[in-house]
A and B are shown apart, each in its own frame.
Chain A
Amino acid sequence: MDFKLSKEQELIQKAAREFATNVILPLGKKIEQDDKVPREIWDGLAELGFLGLPFEEDFGGGEAGYENYVLAQEQISRVSSGVGTAFSVHIMGSDVLALFGTREQQKHYLPKTCKGELKPSFAFTEPGTGSDPRQLATTATRDGEYVVINGVKRFITNAGYEGPMVVFCKDADTGGFSAYIVDKFCQGYSLSKSWEKIGSHGSPIFDVYFKDVRVPASNLLGEPGRGFDILLLGIAFGKIGTSAIALGGILAAYEEAVKYAREKLHRGKPIAKFQAIQLKIGHLAAKYYSTRWMCYRLGTLANDILGKGVQNPEQFQAEAALVKSYASDTAVEAAKLSMDVHASYGLTKDYPIERIYRDAIIAPQIEGVSDMQRIIWANSVLN
């Protein structure tokens, strides 16, 4: 057992914090307004090696272990949940290629995703289903050496960037459930306007339309009919990022509360001197402390999966469900506590807590609502 950051981990944390503070933060307003991650941020993330952090060096990755990704993601999401989410989906899309792709598929995509030239997406949700694969309506129909994909995918992140999209489909011939790699913006691929949403600005989500999209049959990801395994493990890996984004939100809520409490005066002294405020900040600190090790731990568990192959991922999936629901629910509580420290000023866009509060509510709802996570985790405990 060792609850310490290594030298390398400290360096990554520090680099991410500096990048977040010096590069992302000054662009914060622009990100919120344009609902886009500016080019220089993507370039910076690539330059720091963050876009390929956990992946093989052969592909230009850092082979650094997912706990390092969590450390970086936490610091980035501290200043922008939007950038954090785009980054998270980038890694998650790369994860499924690294986990299930053939060597050829990996060689084709990962070197470019690690450099940020391509940005992957992960497309399961549809207008008719958020988590039940039996209700999928997107179909893949075999036509010689090709499959033809038709359907609509909903709430897809990074869909507006060039790159591979992992698309879950029902196989028209067999009724099976498989995943295919589609190059975004190929013939027949089109996008809706982005959804207007409560927060996580900078990371727009789209509906994606597939009209007779033809991809080589060799673009099948993993085994035919085994799409469910990819979905479950892919979502579990996605929860590493979602948890780390929530952790960044908690850290931000906590730091902003401390900062505000020391600045704001009441009856001639900073509100930090009042016990009512101290109680809230003490509680906030405890929330951060209780969440961070769970998130780092989830990262280390993912290393075992990526390193040792995809056998018996159930424990990891269950723990990912636990950490994601815990971190994201805690982020909402932390944002509320911090907002209560800020009071009226927190409602204005002059203070970051206004954004943090809006962003916090997102994580409990995505990648399976918190209620569902609790049941996944409970089933692992009950069995």
Chain B
Amino acid sequence: MDFNYTKEQLMLKDSVRKFSENEIAPMIKWMETEKRTPRDLIKKIKDLGWCGIQYPEKYGGSGNTYVEYAIMQMEMSRVYCSTACTISVNGMLGANIMKFATEEQKLKFLPEHLNGEGIGSFAFTEPSTGSDPGALRTTCVRDGDEWVINGEKNFITNASMPGLMGIFCKDAEMGPGKCTNILIPKGIKGYSTPRIYDKMGMHGLEVCDVVLDNVRVPYENTTGGEAMRGKGFQVLLGSTQIGKLSVCAQAVGMAQAALEAAVKYSKERVQRGKPIANFPTIQSLIGDMATDVMVGHQIVLATAFKASEGKELAADAARTRLFTSEACHRVASKAMQVMGAYSYTTEFPIERIFRDAKLTEIYEGVNEIQRLISSTDLLR
């Protein structure tokens, strides 16, 4: 047992914090208005090696673990969660490739995926299914050396940006309910994003509908090759856990930001001749918030550590997600109580954090699903 950050981890934390404050923060207003992420911001993050933090060096990564990844995600989300999330979706696809792809595929795709211009997408959800692979309608049909893909995906993050997409398709040839994961370069012939969603928050995150109209990619793009054909559900589960870890880290990062905002405000805001930080009611709120942040921080690191060990993560990730997302929501809400009417204005970042926070209880499976997953192994 050792709960201390190493020197390297502290340095990483510090440099992500500085980068986020100096490079991301000035762009937030633009991203919130334009509802896009500047492509060169992504490139800067990639150049720093933070998209490849948890991958081995031979695939273009920096050879660290999911603990470092979680630290990076927490610090970036403290400034702007949308950007952290954009990066984390790249990480989910990367996790799929790392876990299930053939060695040849890893060497072919990962260096560009981790360091190149584009940013990855992970495409499962469809209009008729959020988590049931049996209900997929997007199809893949083998035609000689190629796959032909047809269908629609929705709520796909980063789909409007260039890069690689891991797409889940119904593979009728393999039998009923079977699905296969295929890697496609976004923007190729037959690929379009007819709609980018307007949302409550997370405005820097580009979430799209995707239409696939006779998209053709080499048959060898099957993630994991022939052996993994028809085993798409396994691929789905393998990376959603990492996706979930990212959500947890993002929730803690945002909660930290909300706490800091409330602390700062409470020391500046004077009532009856003294800062409101001196009132026990405010202290009690701050104490609750800081507890949620502290507990969330520890369990994100604990779960990230387990991920690094390659251990089965489903239950722990679900439990961590359940706690951190609820904590994030609570903390953001309490920060607004501390800050009163000002918190509701766009002058302060807390209204954005409050809107962004809600998503952590929803994506990668709503919290009700997390509770069920958390109990599955126990009640079997």
Report the minimal beta-carbon distance from B273 to chain A, rounded to whole angstroms. 18
- Asked if A382 is at the interface (CB within 8 A of a chain B CB), the reply is yes
A381 touches B302 (CB 8 A): no
Residues of A with C-beta under 8 A to B39: none
Stretch touching chain A among B43-51, B112-120, B286-294: B286-294
Asked, given contacts A278-B375, A326-B291, whether A285 binds B306 with beta carbons under 8 Å apart, the answer is no
Q: With an 8 A cutoff between CB atoms, is B155 at the interface?
A: no
Q: Would B2 and A282 count as touching, CB distance under 8 A? A: no
Docked-complex contact A378 and B298, CB < 8 angstroms:
no
- Please give, as numbers and ranges, the residues of chain B lying within 8 Å of A382 by CB-CB distance: 263, 266-267, 277, 283, 286
Instruction: Please tell me if A100 contacts chain B, counting CB pairs below 8 Å.
Output: no
Interface size class of B (residues with CB under 8 A): 35 or more
Q: Does A196 belong to the interface (CB within 8 Å)?
A: no
Contact segment of A30-38, A113-121, A208-216, A367-375: A367-375
Chain A CB within 8 A of B123 CB: no
In the complex formed, the residue of B with least CB distance to A4 is B1
Cβ of A139 within 8 Å of any chain B Cβ, yes or no, is: no
Q: Is B161 an interface residue, CB under 8 A from the partner?
A: no
Q: Does B318 contact A (CB under 8 A)?
A: yes
Instruction: A184 to B216: give the CA distance in the assembly, Å.
Output: 86
Which residues of chain B come closer than 8 Å to A136, judged between CB atoms? none
Rounded to whole Å, the gap between the CB of B109 and the closest CB of chain A is: 30
A378→B379 CA distance, assembly (Å): 39
Does B249 sit within 8 A of A, measured CB to CB? no
Contact status B322-A286, CB under 8 Å: yes
The answer to whether B5 and A1 touch across the interface, beta carbons within 8 angstroms, is yes
B368, closest chain A residue (CB): A279
The reply on B67 being an interface residue by CB < 8 A is yes
Of residues 273 to 318 in A, which have CB atoms within 8 Å of B's CB atoms? 273, 275, 277-279, 281-283, 285-287, 289-291, 293-294, 296-297, 300
Q: Is residue B9 within 8 Å, beta carbon to beta carbon, of the partner chain?
A: yes
Does B215 interact with chain A (Cβ within 8 Å)? Answer: no
B3: which A residues are within 8 A, CB to CB? 1, 293, 297, 300
With a CB–CB cut-off of 8 A, which chain A residues contact B277? 382
A378 with B295: CB separation less than 8 A: no
Structural contact, A283 and B283, CB atoms closer than 8 A: no
CA distance A5 to B374 in the complex (A): 22
Contacts of B266 in A (CB 8 A): 382
Residues of chain A with a CB closer than 8 A to B2's CB: 1-2, 300
Contact flags (1/0) for A253-291 with B, using CB distance below 8 Å?
000001001100000000011010111011101110111
Number of interface residues of A (CB under 8 A): 45
Closest to B67 in A: A1
Closest to B284 in A: A374
> Could you tell me if B287 and A283 are in contact, using CB atoms closer than 8 angstroms?
no
Contact call B290/A378, Cβ cutoff below 8 A: yes
A282 touches B370 (CB 8 A): yes
| Shortest Cβ gap from B360 to chain A (Å) | 14
Q: With A282-B374, A285-B315, A289-B316 in contact, is A258–B379 under 8 Å at CB?
A: yes
Asked if B315 and A1 sit within 8 Å, CB to CB, the answer is: no
Given contacts A1-B67, A382-B266, contact A377 B302 (CB under 8 A): no
CB distance from B90 to the nearest CB of A (A): 24
Could you say which residues of chain B place their CB within 8 Å of the CB of A285? 315, 319, 374-375, 378
Q: Whole-angstrom distance between the alpha carbons of A285 and B299 in the complex?
A: 13
Give the CA-CA distance A2 to B320 in the complex, in Å.
17
Given contacts A286-B323, A377-B291, whether A67 and B1 have CB atoms under 8 Å apart is yes
A322-B318 in contact (CB<8A): no
Q: How far is the CA of A289 from the CA of B263 in the complex (A)?
A: 28
A131 at the B interface (CB under 8 A): no
Q: In whole Å, how far is A7's beta carbon from the nearest beta carbon of chain B?
A: 12
| Residue from the list A262, A289, A300, A322 in contact with B379, Cβ < 8 A | A262
Contact between B320 and A289, CB atoms less than 8 A apart: yes
**Whole-angstrom CA separation of A319 from B318 in the bound complex:** 26
CB pair A289–B299 under 8 Å, yes or no, is yes
CB-CB under 8 A from A293, the residues of chain B are 3, 298-299, 302
Q: What residues of B have a CB within 8 angstroms of the CB of A67 in the complex?
A: 1
Contact residues, B267-293 vs A (CB, 8 A): 267, 277, 280, 282-288, 290-291
Q: Which residue of B lies closest to A322 (CB)?
A: B291
Chain B residues lying within 8 Å of A22, measured Cβ to Cβ, are none
Flag whether B372 is at the interface (Cβ < 8 A).
yes
Q: Cβ of B301 < 8 Å from any Cβ of A?
A: yes
Contacts of B4 in A (CB 8 A): 1
| Shortest Cβ distance from residue A383 to the other chain B in the assembled complex, whole angstroms | 10
Cβ of A6 within 8 Å of any chain B Cβ, yes or no, is: yes
Identify the 4 closest CB pairs spanning chains A and B, nearest first.
A374-B287, A282-B371, A282-B374, A378-B287
User: What are 29 A-B pairs with beta-carbon distances under 8 A?
Assistant: A1-B2, A1-B3, A3-B1, A3-B301, A5-B1, A258-B378, A272-B379, A278-B372, A278-B376, A278-B379, A279-B371, A282-B318, A282-B370, A282-B371, A285-B319, A285-B374, A286-B322, A286-B323, A286-B370, A289-B319, A290-B319, A300-B3, A319-B294, A325-B291, A377-B287, A377-B291, A378-B287, A381-B290, A382-B277
Contacts A1-B9, A286-B319, A293-B3 supplied; 20 other A-B pairs, CB < 8 Å: A1-B301, A3-B1, A3-B306, A9-B1, A258-B378, A258-B379, A272-B379, A275-B372, A282-B319, A283-B374, A285-B319, A286-B323, A290-B323, A293-B299, A322-B290, A325-B287, A371-B284, A374-B287, A377-B290, A382-B263
Where the two chains meet, the residues of B that have a C-beta atom closer than 8 Å to any C-beta of A are 1-6, 9, 67, 259, 263, 266-267, 277, 280, 282-288, 290-291, 294-296, 298-299, 301-302, 305-306, 309, 315-316, 318-320, 322-323, 368, 370-376, 378-379
